[in-house]
Structure 1
Amino acid sequence: MGLAERRRSLGYSQEGLAHALGVDRTTIGRWESGKTVPQPSLRPELAAALQLDLAELDAMLAPPRTAEEPANAPSSDHYGPGSADDMIRREFLRVIAVTGALTTVPTDEAEELVESLRRASSQDFLRMNSHLWQVYQLARAKGSVYPVVRDQLASLNDAFSGHSRPEFQAMCAAAGDLLQLAGELSFDSNRYTEAATSYTLAASASRDAGAYDLWACALVRHAYIDVHERRYQEATHTLSAARNVARRGDHSLSTRHWVAAVQAEAYAGLGDLRACERALDTAEEVLGLASPGHNSGWLRFDGSRLSEERGARYVQLGRLDLAEQALQDALSQAVLAQGQSYRRRATVLTDLAAIGAKRSDADQVITYGREALQLAHQSGSGYVARKLLGLRTAISPMTRDSRIADLTADITALATT
C-alpha cells in the first residue's frame, strides 16, 4: 500500500491531511508522487496521522528497488565519510551548484566579487572565508548569505588546478572551511541532504589538507544531522571519529570540547544521564583554555552557551528542575553580556516553553512560546522553526485553552511560510 492508498483508507483528502500537518496540499501530492519526501521533523506527525509507526512509514516512503539494484544498495540520501574522496579533487562544487532558486545579490556586486577572486591565492580565500563567517553570524536571514558563498565556491573550484603540493593543501583547507559554511546554510534552510554532502566534502578536503581540527569540525557538523533526526546511536559513532581526529589537532583550540558538547546531546537522546553529564563536564573544560580557543569561523565553540546547552540536555532527559535553572541562567547571562542572537535566545525560550508544556502550565507556555515565535519571524531561522514544531507537538494536549490553540495555529503558519 502506498501513501495515497493509506491516506484514502483512513478517510483523508489531500486537503484534510495537509491541514492536519500544517503543510500545503501540493506538498502531500509531491510526497505521494515520490517527487519529494517528508522532512524528518514532519515524519512523526505524518506517521501518527496515518496510524503507522516510523519504521512502517519509512518503508512506505522508500522507493521500490529495480531488479538490478541489490537489497543492500546504499540510499541516495546517504553520504558516508569517505564517499567523496575523488570528487574533491575534481569538481566538489557540482552538488552545491544545483541547489535551485536562491536569493540573489545585485548583479554588479556579484560580478565584481567573482572577478576579484579569479586570481586569488589560498590566503586570499581564507581571509574571504573568515569575512563570510562573520557575515553569516550577523545576518538575521541566514539564506541571504548563500549567493556570495556560492560564488566563492565557484572561484575556489576554478583555482584548484596548477598548484604545488603545499598550495594544493592550503586550497583544500580553504575548501574545507567554506564547504562547512555552505553546509550550515543548507542545514538552516532544512536542506539536509545538501548539508550532508557539503559536510562530507568538507571532511574529505580537510583530511587532504592535513587540517585535523577543521576535519573534526566537519565530522561534528555531519553528526549533528543525525542528532537532529534523532538517530542518536549513529551520531555517537561519527562523534567518536571526530574525537579521535581532534586528538591529533591543536590542543589550544576548543575542537575536542565542542565534540563533547554535541556528544552530550546524543547521550541525552539515548537517555544516558551519566554519559551526558560526563560529556558536558568535558565541554566545560573549554573555560580553562589559555587562548580564546576558537576562530569565530568554522570553530566558534567558546563555552558561552554551556548553560543553555546543559538546560536543553536536561529537558531531553526529563530533569525539569535542573533544566529550568540552567536555562534561566542562560537568559541572565545574555542580559549581562548585552545581547544574544535571535536564534540562540529563541532556542532557550522554546525550551522553557517546553518545560511549561511538561508541567501543563499554560501561562509558562504562552509567555515563552510567544516571544520565541516572534524571534523566529525576525530571524527567519529554519532551526528555530524546527524547535517550535517540536513545541507544537508537546502542547497539542493543551489546545482546549484558546491561547494554546492560537499559538499552535501561529506555529503552523510559520512552518508553512
Structure 2
Amino acid sequence: MITKGDGMGGARRHGGRPDLVRARVQQGMSQESAAQALGVTPTTWARWERGEQGVRASYRPRMAALFGVSAVEVERWIEGWSHGETSSWPTTDLGDSSPAATVKSAALLWRLEMDPSRRHLLASLPFVPSALGEWLVSWNYGTPAASAARRGAGRVVGLADVARINEARKAFGQMDQRFGAGLVRPVVVEYLNGTVAPLLRGHYDDRVGSELMTAAAGMTWMAGWTAFDLNRHGQAQQHFGQALRLAKTGDDPLTGVWALAALTRQAIHLEQGTWAVWLARAAADTARRAEAPPRVMSLILVKEAWATALQVKSAEIRDGRRAKQVERLLTEAERAYAKGTTDRDPEWTSRFEAAELNAEVGVCWRLLGEHRRAADCAEAAVTEFSERLPRSVQFNQVHAAEAYLGMGELEQALGTARAAIPVTKALTSARSVDLLQRFSGQLEPYGDTVAVREFRDHLNSELIA
C-alpha cells in the first residue's frame, strides 16, 4: 500500500522496501555502514527500509552510486513500482488519442518536470529504442480522436490563447539557438506546467482544440529539443513522444512529421542507425500522405539521407547501394527545397533555412568519405550563419575540422576546431562540448605530435575555466 508522501521525498510504504534491504545485504553491509556511507543516521536508514520515512531526492543518486545501479532502479526500490505501472514513470502511450487521455498524459509529464523529487529521475532516463516501435505503430495505424473538443473544468480557451503559446515557443526557440538549451529549458518546462497544462484542462470546441493540441505539441517539442541539447536523452524522448501524441489528438500530420524528424535526429546522434532510418521513413510517408509542402519534404529527405549515410559509415563493408541511395535522397531534398515556400508551410520550417540544409548535406558527405565536399558545405554554412546562430556556427566549424582531418590536413583541422572553442564556452549546450571532445578523440592517430598535445591542453583548460 502506498500513501501520500510525507514531505521528506517519496511516499511512505507500509509494506516496507524489501528491494532496498536486499541490495544492502547483497553488498554485505549493515544498516549502520550503509547509513554512514550516505551520511544519515542508522535510525533514518532503518526507517527507510521499513517504509516509515520517505527518501529525499538528494540521497537517491548517492544510493545509486553506493550500490552500483541506475537511478531508475533506486526509484523502483523506494517507490515500489515497475516501469509503466505508476504515474511516477511518465510513459507515452499513443494508443488512446482522446483529448482527456492526452491531456492527462501531457500534464503528468510537465508536472513531474517541476517536482524536485522526480526531476532528477527524468533527467537520468535512458533513451529506449523499443518504445519507438509502439509509437510508430500507433502513429501510423491508430485512429485520431473524433473531436479535439473538451468540456473541462478550466476556463474557456480561445484562439488568442493558442497564438500566445505559439509566440512564446518562437521566442524560446530564438533563445535556444543563440544561447543553448541550458538557459532556456527551465523557462520552457515552467511555461508548460503553469500555462499550457491549465489551458488543456479548459473548455474548448473542436477547432480551438485542434489548434491547442498543435501548439502544446510545439511547446513540448521545445522541451524535448532542449533536453536533447543537454544530453538528457530519455527525457527528450519522452517529450518528443508526447508531441507526437498531441499531434495525433489534434489530427495534425505535419506536426507529427516535426516530432518524428526530431526523434530521427536524436537516433542519429545516438548512432541508432536502423531506428533513425525507420523514423525518417515514417515521417516521409506521413508527409506524402498529407501532401506536405516542399520545404517539409526537403527537411525529411535530408534526415533520411543522414540516417542512411550513418548506416554506410557503420557497416564493416562499404555498401555501394546505400551510398547511391544517400546521393539520391540528397538530390531530392535539394530539389524540393529549390521549389520555394508556400502558404501551407508550418511555422517551424522557418528554422530550416538554406544554410541548415547545406550543413546537413555536408555531414552526409563526410559520412560517405567525401571530405572535400563536406568541408565546403560546412564552411559555407559557417559563413551564412555568421553571428546570427552561434551554436550552428560552432557545429559547422567542428564538422569542417572533422572533414579536414579526414583529408589529412591536420594543421587546418586544428585551426578550424580551435576557432570553435570560444563559442562553445559561451553556449549552455552539452552537445557543443561533446562535439569538440569527439573531435579531440579523433586526433588519436596524431596524439604524439606537439600540435595535437597543445590543442588538447588548450581545449581542456578552456572547457574547465
Q: Same fold (TM over 0.5)?
A: yes
Deviates more, 1:379-388 or 1:212-221: 379-388
Question: Is 1:35 the counterpart of 2:70 in the alignment?
Answer: yes
Identity of aligned residues (%): 17
Q: Judging changes above 3 Å, is the alpha-carbon distance between structure 1 residues 36 and 390 closer, same or farther for their aligned structure 2 residues? A: farther
Asked whether the equivalents of residues 307 and 326 of structure 1 are also in contact (C-alpha less than 8 Å), the reply is yes
Deviation at 1:256, TM superposition (A): 1.7
Q: Note the C-alpha offset of 1:210.
A: 1.2
Q: 1:12: which partner in 2?
A: none
Shift in alpha-carbon separation, 1:168–1:290, aligned structure 2, 3 A = closer
Match for residue 199 of structure 2? 159
1:174-193 superposed matches below 5 A: 174-193=215-234
Please show how residues 199-348 of structure 1 align to structure 2 within 5 Å.
199-249=240-290, 251-252=292-293, 254-271=295-312, 272-284=322-334, 285-291=336-342, 294-297=345-348, 300-334=351-385, 339-348=387-396
Q: Is the 8 A contact 1:232 1:267 kept in 2?
A: yes
Listed as ranges, the matches of 1:122-201 within 5 Å are 122-138=159-175, 139-154=178-193, 155-161=195-201, 162-201=203-242
The count of residues paired between Structure 1 and Structure 2 equals 343
For 1:388, the aligned partner's letter is: L
Q: TM-score, normalised by structure 1?
A: 0.71
1:369 is displaced (CA, Å) by 0.9
Q: Deviations over 1:364-417 (max 9, x none)?
A: 122111111221111222222222122122112222123322433454567779
- Specify the code of the residue in structure 1 equivalent to 2:342: S
Unaligned runs of 5+ residues in structure 2 are: 1-60, 120-153, 313-321
The 1:123/1:219 distance shift into structure 2, 3 A limit, reads: farther
Q: Pick the structure with greater CA Rg.
A: 2
For residue 195 of structure 1, report the CA deviation from its aligned partner. 0.7
**What one-letter code is carried by the residue in structure 2 that aligns with 1:173?**
T
Separation in 2, partners of 1:403, 1:77: 49
SS of the residue 1:247 aligns to: helix
Q: For the Cα contact (< 8 Å) 2:216–2:243, is it kept in 1?
A: yes
Q: Which residue of 2 aligns with 1:97?
A: 111
The answer as to whether partners of 1:180 and 1:298 remain within 8 angstroms in 2 is no
Within 2, Cα distance between the matches of 1:415 and 1:248?
47
Alignment CA distance shift 1:83-1:354 (3 Å) = farther
**Counterpart Cα distance in 2 of 1:170 and 1:328:** 39
1:146-187 residue CA offsets vs partner (Å, 9 max, x unmatched): 233223212221222333333322221121111111111111
Equivalent AA in structure 2 for residue 156 of structure 1: V
Greater displacement, 162-171 / 179-188: 162-171
SS state at 1:210 partner: coil
In 2, distance between residues paired with 1:397 and 1:292?
51
1:280 maps to amino acid: L
What is the CA–CA distance in structure 2 between the aligned matches of 1:298 and 1:201, rounded to whole Å?
Answer: 20
| Contact 1:286-1:302 at 8 Å conserved across structures | no
Contact 2:379-2:397 at 8 Å conserved across structures: no
Which position in structure 1 is the counterpart of 2:436? 388
Q: Is the 8 A contact 2:261 2:300 kept in 1?
A: yes
Letter in 1 for 2:94: G
Shift of 1:203: 0.6
* TM-score for both structures, normalised by structure 2: 0.65
Deviations 1:52-78 (A, max 9, x none): xxxxxxxxxxx9xxxx999xx9xx999
Q: Partners in 1 of 2:414 and 2:113 — Cα distance?
A: 37
Structural RMSD (CA): 3.6
Q: Is the 8 A contact 1:360 1:398 kept in 2?
A: no
Unmatched tracts of structure 1, length 5 or more? 1-25, 38-62, 103-116
- Give the residue type in structure 1 aligned to 2:253: Y
**Structure 1 residue identity aligned to 2:254:** D
Counterpart-to-counterpart distance in 2, 1:257 and 1:358: 27
Distance 1:389 1:294 in 2: 37
Q: Output the amino acid matched with 1:261.
A: V
- Residue identity in the other structure for 2:226: L
Pair 1:358–1:278, CA change in 2 (3 A): same
Q: Distance in 2 between matches of 1:263 and 1:232?
A: 10
Do the aligned partners of 1:183 and 1:195 also contact (CA within 8 Å) in 2?
yes
Distance 2:155 2:331 in 1: 46
Structure 1 match to 2:142? none
Q: 1:129 to 1:318 in 2, by over 3 A?
A: same
Deviation at 1:253, TM superposition (A): 5.7
Residue 310 of structure 1, CA deviation: 1.8
Residues 388/153 of structure 1: CA separation in 2 closer, same or farther (3 Å cut): same
**Which residue of structure 1 aligns with residue 427 of structure 2?**
379
Distance 1:91 1:274, change over 3 A: same
Instruction: Return the offset for 1:222.
Output: 1.3
Pairwise CA distance, 1:298:
6.7
- Matched residue, 1:53: none
Please say if residues 172 and 188 of structure 2, whose CA atoms lie closer than 8 Å, have aligned partners that are also in contact.
no
